[in-house]
Amino acid sequence: MEYEIKGGSFPIVICKLEKGETMKNESGSMALMTSQIKMETNTGGGILKGLGRALAGDTIFLNFYTAQSENQEIGFASGYPGKIIPLKLNGNTIIAQKHSYLASEKDVDISIHFKKKIGRGLFGGEGFILQKFSGNGMVFLEIDGEVLEYDLAAGEKMLIDQGHLAAMESTVDFDIERVKGAKNMLIGGEGLFFGKLTGPGKVWIQTMPISKLADALLPFIPTTNGGDV
């Protein structure tokens, strides 16, 4: 399978399939496909597997697209402004934010990932549940805004606003750290806790979480009062 990412801030990934190759995605992200591609919909591993994905904010069912002849194309478009990042899995595991999954090859396993400590879930900014991608093949994730990639050495630490964590390798440890200083906590505007990432492993940081984009746009959305039209 070959692919090309186009579209700038409103990206789409075009996958070129040979006969017998299969891509899968959640419903809604397929933008185009050539005529010799067959689509089938199922839970991708049983109802419990589908319910697990639903807990992570995704759909119960997956769509599978298989090329019936050579030189077929299918496009998956991001649902909001940002980037599509391609990741090649070779038995390794990637942990990502909820709603990040766009599409993948059929041998990529998609499941939920729970933060192990209660503190991480209560104060980590994104809840207890993340997405986990493992197996073999390409997976495409949609990221909010621009994306920065860091390769943390063993024991190297990085503090982040939790909503800016897009994805990380499973070797990276995620924890929380309280903001130091009463004044910083009360008027610093960064909340009470930072996310703390400890290497080794790669992390992907997003510049504009969709929740912050929504907050920024909210004052500009017209509202109506009472019976006004």
- Per-residue pLDDT of 19-52, as tens digits, reads 999 999 987 789 999 999 999 998 766 565 555 5
Confidence bin at 213 (pLDDT 50/70/90): low
pLDDT of residue 123: 44
Q: What is the mean pLDDT of residues 156-161?
A: 92
pLDDT of residue 101: 92
Q: Select, from the ranges 78-87, 179-188, 209-218, the one with the highest average predicted confidence (pLDDT).
A: 78-87
Q: Whole-prediction pTM value?
A: 0.81
- Beginning with the edge strand found earlier in the chain, give each strand of the sheet holding 72-77 in spatial order: 2-6, 12-17, 72-77, 30-33
- Reported in sequence order, the residue ranges of 18-128 that DSSP labels E, i.e. its strands, are 22-26, 30-33, 37-42, 62-67, 72-77, 82-90, 94-96, 101-105, 108-114
CA 4, CA 90: separation in Å to the nearest integer?
20
Instruction: Answer yes or no: is pLDDT of 228 > 60.
Output: no
- pLDDT band at 187; cut points 50, 70, 90: very low
* Least confidently predicted of 27-36, 55-64, 138-147, 193-202: 55-64
